[in-house]
Amino acid sequence: MSAEEWKKVYRDAWARYYTDEHVETILRRAVASGLKPRKMADVMTAFSAAARIEGVHPLQCGIIRRKVRTSRRHGTPIINPLVFYPVRAVEFVSVVAQWLTVGWRYHRIKKRVVADPSSKTYVDDATRLSSIDEPENDELVSFFADKIPDTYGAPKKQAAGVSS
C-alpha cells in the first residue's frame, strides 16, 4: 500500500466511525450508563474534527494550531509575510468555522438524545449484559472469567451448585 493509499484508508476510518448515526448511538449509551452527555459530545467533537479538519490524530492536535512563518521544512522557502499572514488568517477562520460546525452538530444530536425519555433505558448489543451461562458467550471468556478484574459488565463465574 502506498503512503497516499494508507492516508486515505486512515481518513476513511475516522469518517466512518464518526457518522452522525454512530455519534447518536454513543450518546444514547452515555445517557443510559449515567455518563455526562455534554462531556461525551465534546470529546467526540475533538476526536472527529482533529482527524477530519486538521488531518492529524486527536492526540497530536491542540486547541489552535500554531503555524510559524519561519518554521519550514529543509529546502522549502520562507513565505513573504504579506502573503503568509492573510492566507493564515483566512485558513484560521475557515478551520474555526469547521470546528464550530462539528461541535454544533454533535451538541444538537446530544440535545435530541437527552430530550428523548427512552435514552435512559437504551440497550443495544454492545451494552446488553450477558450471562456467563449464555451459549453464545465465548468459551475463552468463560474459562478466564475468574481472572478478569471485577469491573462493570465483566462476566462473573458462578460457584458450582449456586443459583441466582
CA angle 66, 72, 73 (to 5 degrees): 125
Return the C-alpha cell found at 86. Answer: 492573510
pLDDT given at position 131: 59
pLDDT given at position 126: 79
Q: Is 114 within 8 Å of 37 (Cβ atoms)?
A: yes
pLDDT given at position 1: 86
The domains of the chain are located at 3-128, 129-164
Q: What is the DSSP string of 53-114?
A: II-S-GGG--SS----TT---TTPPPPPHHHHHHHHHHHHHHHHHHHHHHHHHHHHHHHHHH
H-run or E-run covering 158: none
pLDDT given at position 103: 95
Block means of pLDDT (10 residues each) for the chain, 164 residues, are 89 90 94 93 92 86 82 89 94 93 96 94 80 60 70 59 49
pLDDT given at position 42: 94
pLDDT given at position 136: 58
Euclidean distance between CA atoms 43 and 62, whole angstroms: 13
